[in-house]
Structure 1
Amino acid sequence: MEFRSVALAVKRLLKGKDYTYKQLAAHLGLSESGVKKLLNGEDCSYNRLSQVAEFLNISVSDLLSVTESQQAQNIQLNPLVQDYFLQEPSAFLVYFCILYDKARVDDLQKRLKLSKAEIYRYLKQLDDFRLIEWQSNDRIVVKGELGGLLAGSDEFILTFKKRFAQRIHDEASHIDSSVDKLFILRYLYCTDETFFHLRKDITAVLQDYERNAQRDQRLFDRDQLKPRKFYIFGSTGRLY
């Protein structure tokens, strides 16, 4: 077990929950310097780790899981489901918001500007497809991994890639200096090898970003996180 990764997660949680080393020290019966020594060390006993997890209001298993190198698993949509989503784009948006945002019925109505009757019609169909379990009191349980990567035919993936890319493109037309936005545009001449390495490096960075994001979702409450979106595209050819 790589304790340094766990210690880093503890530090992130302390900062995210506005806790101090002094408060953690009091809970553990240590001095503040003792806590810093603990978190900068190479190892930690399970009992001590349990005390830290208790203070952070998180399970030990979730705390330990940050050392796992996991990637979101694909959710393979069968052709029947793909055809339905292509014919009913709003149904796909309902599923997307449930899968990635844990949206509830009232959230779906406000965000997608749909009536409750429309939402219920889509939820019933999603339930029939076994993509979700629509329970009493409008509780929705996702079948499969929450936030998993959607996989389907080229037509299906391309259709929704275009729609999402257009939304991000429209937002990019209103560029400001917000720290929550990132806009990068480059136009360069280079060899095929250099461009290949660019793609390889970007892929590696994204994989690392996805692992960190999954760790955040395991460690933090949803209201402590912000949804981030981006679309990357590069090609060969002149700009004009």
Structure 2
Amino acid sequence: MSQTGSLLAALKRQLRAQGYTYADVAQWLGLSEASVKRMFAERHITLARLERICERLDIEFAELVQTMQTDERRLQELTQAQEQSIADDHELFLVAVCVLNGYSFADIHRQYRLSEAECTRQLLKLERLALIELLPGNRIRRRVAPNFRWRPGGPIQQFFQQYIANEFFRSRFDSQSEKLLVLNGLLSRAGNDEWQQIMQRLAKEFHELCERESALPITQRFGTTSVLAVRQWQHGLFKDYARPPQK
């Protein structure tokens, strides 16, 4: 991400933290909400407008830059060995997923059959992995970057894939909280690349939505898993009928 993109990402987090929306920013700058959305999406903003927003947020421009730099230093990915240590310990894996989703110590202890001592032990392991900082009073501060991800093809992703294969699709996807879309069509390599970029934007919107709702009580939020996948792929049955490529 460019420095402008990183700076605007830090600004958006400041807006969310103080409960402001694009509509508020539009009012401050005398613009339409659509113009503000486009300004953030295209990562194009004048210094005067940036300073005006900082003024309304009661933060110095230098503070915003410092926040951006702090975010950039946060953990973006674990090593293969670190992920393996989490994947091999299901109790640690449970706690890791909880804290990455914003659970407090009390939330974990209340929702799962872990004693306070067991929960503390696992949190200390995550602190050694630099995923979190365990503060006095068992407060948890996440140390991961907004774009933190599990390693592609790594131990955690492999665990999820195995779980998804065995459990995730055992549903009719007909309840109010479920939806399954299977899309099939013909795309060029360029079209495939464009679709992957759209999927990446959807993933970003999902994480931003999680951030916006992070202030809600844990009792009002529920584990939500979304699977986005694309392959140049054809079922083996169809391959048996395919003609060999012409030379």
TM-score tier, shorter chain, comes to: 0.5 to 0.7
Counterpart residue number, 2:226: 230
Matches within 5 A, 1:15-54: 35-36=30-31, 40=35, 46=48, 49-54=50-55
- Distance in 2 between the 1:24 and 1:199 partners? 35
Counterpart residue number, 2:150: 150
Counterpart residue number, 1:201: 194
Give the secondary structure class of the aligned counterpart of 2:141: strand
Superposition TM-score, scaled by structure 1 size: 0.59
- Distance in 2 between the 1:56 and 1:39 partners? 21
Q: What whole-Å deviation, never above 9, does each CA across 1:142-190 have from its counterpart, x for those lacking one?
A: 34425501227645531233225655424x5342355xx54212466x5
- Distance in 2 between the 1:37 and 1:77 partners? 44
| Structure 1 contact 78–152 (Cα < 8 Å) conserved | no
Q: Which amino acid aligns with 1:222?
A: S
Counterpart residue number, 2:77: 75
Match of 2:180 among 180, 183, 198: 183
| Structure 1 contact 24–52 (Cα < 8 Å) conserved | no
Q: Which amino acid aligns with 1:229?
A: T
Q: Which segments of 5 or more consecutive residues in structure 2 lack a partner in the other structure?
A: 37-43, 239-247
Give the secondary structure class of the aligned counterpart of 1:145: coil
Q: Which amino acid aligns with 1:184?
A: L
* CA 1:57–1:134: 2 relative to 1, 3 Å: same
Give the secondary structure class of the aligned counterpart of 1:223: coil
Counterpart residue number, 1:121: 121
Superposition TM-score, scaled by structure 2 size: 0.57
Q: Which segments of 5 or more consecutive residues in structure 1 lack a partner in the other structure?
A: 29-33
Give the secondary structure class of the aligned counterpart of 1:75: coil
Task: Give the structure, 1 or 2, with the largest relative contact order (CA under 8 Å, sep 6 or more).
Answer: 1
* CA 1:168–1:195: 2 relative to 1, 3 Å: farther
* CA 1:228–1:87: 2 relative to 1, 3 Å: closer
Q: Which amino acid aligns with 2:215?
A: D
Counterpart residue number, 1:31: none
* CA 1:36–1:94: 2 relative to 1, 3 Å: same
Counterpart residue number, 1:103: 103
- Distance in 2 between the 1:43 and 1:186 partners? 37
Instruction: Report the alpha carbon displacement of residue 214 of structure 1 after superposing the two structures with TM.
Output: 5.8
Give the secondary structure class of the aligned counterpart of 2:30: helix
- Distance in 1 between the 2:120 and 2:111 partners? 15
| Structure 2 contact 75–143 (Cα < 8 Å) conserved | no
- Distance in 1 between the 2:132 and 2:47 partners? 40
Counterpart residue number, 1:91: 92
